[in-house]
Amino acid sequence: MAEIAVMALYDQIIDNHGEFLESLRHRFLDEERKTALQNFENLGFPTKKDEEYKYTNVKEITEKNYNFFPKEGHNITRERLDQLHLGEENFDWIVFVNGKLHKELSKVSIENVEFLSFNYALNDEKHKEVFDTYFNTIASKDSAFTNLNLAYCKYGFFLKVPKNVVIEKPIHIFYISQNQEENTFYNTRNLLIVEEGAKVEVIESHHNFDDTYVLTNSVTEIFTYPNAKADWHKLQNDNNTSYLIDSTFARQEKDSLTTVNTFTFGGKLVRNNLDFIHNGSNINSFMNGITIIGKDQLVDHHTAVHHNFPNCESYQNYKGIFDGNAHGVFNGKVFVDKIAQKTNAYQQNNNVLLSEGATIDTKPQLEIFADDVKCSHGCTVGQLNEDALFYLRARGISKKEAQALLLYAFANDAMQNIDIEPLKEKISKLLAEKLQVDLEF
């Protein structure tokens, strides 16, 4: 007999869609949204029987009720934002509060780029064409969460960087939720197109300022063209009543470079799905991750790199530190097509368990159909090196600080290719905070 799961959220999703569509000012995606909802309805939320969710049970998310229509009222001020951004001078930022773009809180100094919106897409032929060409073209069609996002997404960050435009200042996207008395559900959507020879860096962070639960189901599509460079940094440090399901898809054309870094310190349950699709040769893809969690947090990184062309390289370097009863999951897939000769695929996942209760499930998954390739992978699970601890303590550094220094050293490797100094400092600071030490590394 088929198992019938009682899912509060599932029913809400089906029930609320009509009202959601009515709430939209622009209805040009209605058909796609309805189809996506139908797909979601058929797929249902993944269960532990699903191979991809074997170690991550989303039941605690789906058994809750959520408000699909967040209240707009908030009291986020510029001063509050000053505590969040990484520096007035060196960054631009775009601020969404309770699902709505707030221009008065944002700071955009860049020119020569096209910020897009559903609104423009409807009214402006030029933008409509971009939407038709890119929107939802690489996001997975058979994932419940990506379908759900398409059915319900309303706002997000859409940016096209035209040919040879180099954006000097990284753009920080803030998704803030505040003053919500009920659990709230957001479907955020990002689209980044980096044309030939262009360059951009994006930082993305989600902030729940309430004690009520926030579920964010985010989908990001990144397109990088020849000789272009796109860096996307995910700074995941939300509070303990936050759930994040992130699905990011990056398609690269020949001679391009794309980096997606994921730094996870906060959130009750975080699932990151990261897919790289190679659509040309001489591509470089970088994926770095640092995860430091404790208590009963769960963080799951699922990556997939599709090596479809020859002479491409991909580097994955994920570090995890787990305390309390925290649970980490890493699953890294690398597919090498039979024509993808001279592929160089590197994957590393190293973990430190600080407590008896912490667990990690790590699984590299390589499917290689070409014969002239270099693919390496390694995963380790360990404790801190006692000799190293003694070395530091013998210099007068207390046990706790010594542990923190060693953990910093352990994680540091995955920060190597961040070229934004304030971001590095921020991560170091969060690391010290998370390890409860007052140290400058």
Partner 1 sequence: MLEIKNLHARIEDGAEILKGINLEIKPGEVHAIMGPNGAGKSTLSSVIAGKEEYEVTEGEIIFQGENIIEDAPEDRAHKGVFLSFQYPVEIPGVSVTNFIKAALNETRKANGLAEMPAKEMLALIREKSEQLGIKKDFLSRSLNEGFSGGEKKRNEIFQMMMLNPKLAILDETDSGLDIDALRIVADGVNHFKNEGNAVLLITHYQRLLNYIQPDFVHVLANGKIIKTGDKSLALELEEKGYDWLLN
Please report, as ranges, the residues that interact with partner 1 according to CB under 8 A: 385-388, 390-399, 401-402, 405-406, 408-409, 411-413, 415, 439-441
Nearer to partner 1, 122 or 406 (CB): 406
In this complex, which beta carbon is closest to partner 1, that of residue 274 or of residue 414? 414
What's the closest the beta carbon of residue 390 comes to partner 1, in angstroms?
5
Query: Who's near 299: CB < 8 A, 6+ residues apart?
Result: 264, 267, 269, 270, 271, 272, 291, 293, 320, 326, 327, 328, 329
Cα distance between residue 106 and residue 92, in whole Å:
8
| C-beta of 22 vs 440, nearer to partner 1 | 440
Q: Which is nearer to partner 1, 101 or 406 (CB)?
A: 406
We find the least distance from the C-beta atom of residue 319 to partner 1, in angstroms, to be: 11
For residue 273 the two structure tokens come to 């799905």
Is the CB of 84 or the CB of 397 nearer to partner 1? Answer: 397
Provide the pairing of β-strand 257-264 with 229-236: parallel
Q: Which is nearer to partner 1, 168 or 413 (CB)?
A: 413
State the nearest-atom distance from the C-beta of 393 to partner 1, in Å.
Answer: 4
Shortest gap between Cβ of 89 and partner 1 (angstroms)?
Answer: 23
Identify any residues that bridge with 184 across adjacent strands, giving them in sequence order.
Answer: 67, 214
Task: Give 202's strand partners.
Answer: 171, 232
CB atoms within 10 A of CB 18: 11
Residue in this structure with the two tokens 């399901």, named with its chain if needed: 245
Nearer to partner 1, 107 or 424 (CB): 424
User: Locate tokens 């509070």: which residue?
Assistant: 239
State the minimum distance, in angstroms, from the CB of residue 398 to partner 1.
Answer: 5
Half-sphere exposure of 246 (CA within 13 A, CB side): 31
160 bridge partner residues: 114, 193
| Distance, CA of 179 to CA of 211 (rounded, Å) | 9
Alpha helices (H) along 94-181? 118-123, 125-134, 144-152
CB of 261 to partner 1, least distance (A): 16
CB of 288 to partner 1, least distance (A): 14
